Amino acid sequence: MTDKAPAKAHLTPRRRTITQKRSLVGWAFLLPAALLILWMNFYPMFQALWMSLHKGIGAGMTWAGLYNYERMFKDTVFQQTLVTTFTYLIVQVPVMLVFAIILASLLNDKKLKCKGFFRTAVFLPCTTSLVSYSIIFRSLFAADGYINHILVGLGILETGYNFLGTPWSARMVIIIALLWRWTGYNMIFFLAALQNIDSSIYEAARIDGASPFQQLRRITMPLLKPMILLTAIMSTNGTLQLFDESFNLTRGGPGRASLTMSHYLYQLAFEKAPNFGYATAVSYVILALVAVLALIQMRVGDKR
């Protein structure tokens, strides 16, 4: 007993040293990436926050405090973009998630043939370039576009309708474009979640006489709740930062009817007389909205 005790005491410092060396090696590999993230991500964020408290241009920027944030309460254009963005959010996100769940349920059927083809076809739109698909939808819904050609040919319209020149229809074109592009993306998440559900649960439900709709409502939806929460948060985040469709599809028009907050931010910073202080303040309001809505969704959707 007396011989073994000194041996253990002698090995303990050596083991700690090896552990420390391994820890240092790990930090040595992580440090360059961590410094790069701090420099490329967090430093611009703090710099933008500091800039949002100033007004003016370049070296002539002066301290303004909360002036830029107070200005938003009087800015009718910003208020209009806020309403427009939330219109997209309230209409598009629920419809898209419902379509994604239905498509995932249909494409998860073991009896369905050519499942790979249909899954690829539904997912393919989200791989399309944002600019190219916006241009395609712009040409489809133009006054002399293919959609008007079909509607006139079927006798529904006498002449072509100016979809992009009317406020409500311009917003609907953007919503349709978002549904076309992002439904398949969310469908993949739900499909992955459905494949993790034990098929014996559905077999037991069918034996008990449950209809497909009852299985969807009583089994599929409760088990998909974590994935619904995840996709809802991601979709909300993306919609509040919506830019490409407003910029490329409708140019924010007619007037400012389809202008989003991110598109307005771009106009403030680059298209009009540069106002980087006010633009960065708008960007932080968007960040705050994203954070608050994500927190609300987590509180409501995750009972833990």
Cα 136 to Cα 147: distance, rounded to the nearest angstrom? 12
Cα 239 to Cα 171: distance, rounded to the nearest angstrom? 13
Query: Do the domain assignments include residue 80?
Result: yes
Exposure on the CB side of residue 229, measured as CA atoms within 13 A: 16
Does residue 214 share a domain with residue 136?
A: yes
pLDDT band at 59 (very low <50, low <70, confident <90, very high): low
At 167, list the tokens.
């406020």
Does residue 219 share a domain with residue 107?
A: yes
Does residue 219 share a domain with residue 131?
A: yes
Give 120-156 pLDDT, tens digit per residue.
999 999 888 888 888 889 999 988 889 999 999 888 8
Q: How far is CA 89 from CA 11, 137, 268, 287, 293, in A?
A: 62, 20, 23, 15, 11
Closest CA to 123 of 46, 70, 184: 184
How many domains would you assign to the chain? 2
4 pLDDT more than 60: no
Pick the most confident of 128-137, 196-205, 226-235.
226-235
At 211, list the tokens.
């209809």
Query: Do the domain assignments include residue 170?
Result: yes
Give the model's pLDDT for residue 61.
79
Query: Do the domain assignments include residue 187?
Result: yes
Query: Do the domain assignments include residue 58?
Result: no
Does residue 279 share a domain with residue 203?
A: yes
Query: Do the domain assignments include residue 122?
Result: yes
Q: What is the CATH number for 133?
A: 1.10.3720.10
Does residue 27 share a domain with residue 164?
A: no
Q: What is the mean pLDDT of residues 173-199?
A: 92
Q: Is 63 helix (H, G, I), strand (E, B) or coil?
A: strand
Does residue 237 share a domain with residue 93?
A: yes
Does residue 123 share a domain with residue 37?
A: no
Query: Do the domain assignments include residue 52?
Result: no
Does residue 225 share a domain with residue 167?
A: yes
Cα 180 to Cα 246: distance, rounded to the nearest angstrom? 15
Does residue 280 share a domain with residue 156?
A: yes
Give 261-288 pLDDT, tens digit per residue.
999 999 998 887 788 899 999 999 999 9
From first CA to last CA, the distance across the chain in angstroms is 51
Give the model's pLDDT for residue 13.
52
Does residue 118 share a domain with residue 18?
A: no
The residue behind tokens 């992002």 is 182
Query: Do the domain assignments include residue 1?
Result: yes
Does residue 166 share a domain with residue 95?
A: yes
Alpha helices in the chain (DSSP H): 4-37, 43-51, 67-71, 76-107, 115-123, 130-140, 146-153, 167-194, 199-207, 212-215, 221-223, 225-240, 244, 261-266, 276-301
CA triple 116-117-122, angle to 5 deg: 100
189 pLDDT more than 70: yes
At 278, list the tokens.
């006010």
Q: How far is CA 138 from CA 124, 149, 201, in A?
A: 19, 14, 46
Cα 114 to Cα 168: distance, rounded to the nearest angstrom? 39
Does residue 137 share a domain with residue 275?
A: yes
195 pLDDT more than 50: yes
Query: Do the domain assignments include residue 66?
Result: no
Instruction: State the residue range of the domain holding 17.
Output: 1-44
Cα 243 to Cα 252: distance, rounded to the nearest angstrom? 9
57 pLDDT more than 80: no
The residue type found at 211 is S
Give the predicted TM-score (pTM) of the model. Answer: 0.84
